[in-house]
Amino acid sequence: MNFIIDPGAIEQESMAIIEKNVPLLASLPKKEQSIVKRIIHTTGDFNIAPLVKIHPQAIDRGLDAIRRGCNIYTDVNMVLAGLNSKRLAAYGIQALCHIADPAVAEQARRTGQTRAMVAMRRAGSLQGDIVVIGNAPTALFTLCDMIKQGEADPALVIGTPVGFVGASESKEMLVNLGKVPYITLQGTRGGSTIAASIVNALLYM
């Protein structure tokens, strides 16, 4: 059996297959196409395309933040691990996650909150930064509350928490917030790999 072994050729062929099988892509602006194709490539799921929701200002705000060398805050280390480290370094971007900090674990035990909630508040005002939540709905609920209360002002929120308890609702809250550009995925589907793929799609632009 013959198969492709060159990584660049594999990716190029993958993207061609995606374009052939997802007619919806043709109706999207080029930059949005790049985001959606990267999500499909990551999941291997053609049917996920209609679930992707991108705020009209999201991509431009995200690219501006990247060019400025913003910080990127993630809810879990799995998202952090999926980011393209060479691209981050090229823009002087620091990618951070507080979920494993001992102080976060201690406060979570003391208050009864999830570590994701405590870690999100420890990130501070997030002024001009990109927040990437791929796993924990409680982190996204907390971030939305911080934004509503004027305690946080990120440039972009990438919110794709996964699961059956709170994931869909937290993403709906993000979309309905009306105060921050977002990239999200409707419903219960999501995850750290999808969140990381969206950041990488922006970095590749």
Burial of 127 (0-12, 13-18, 19+ CB in 10 A): exposed
Degrees to nearest 5, angle at CA 118 with 115 and 119: 80
Task: Evaluate whether 56 touches 29 at the Cβ level (below 8 Å).
Answer: no
Instruction: Give the active site residues.
Output: 41
> In 7-34, which positions are buried (b, 16+ CB within 10 angstroms) versus exposed (e)?
eeeeeeeebeebeeebeebeebeebbbb
CB 116 within 8 A of CB 142: yes
| DSSP secondary structure letters along 23-60 | GGGGGS-HHHHHHHHHHHHHHT-GGGGGGEEE-TTHHH
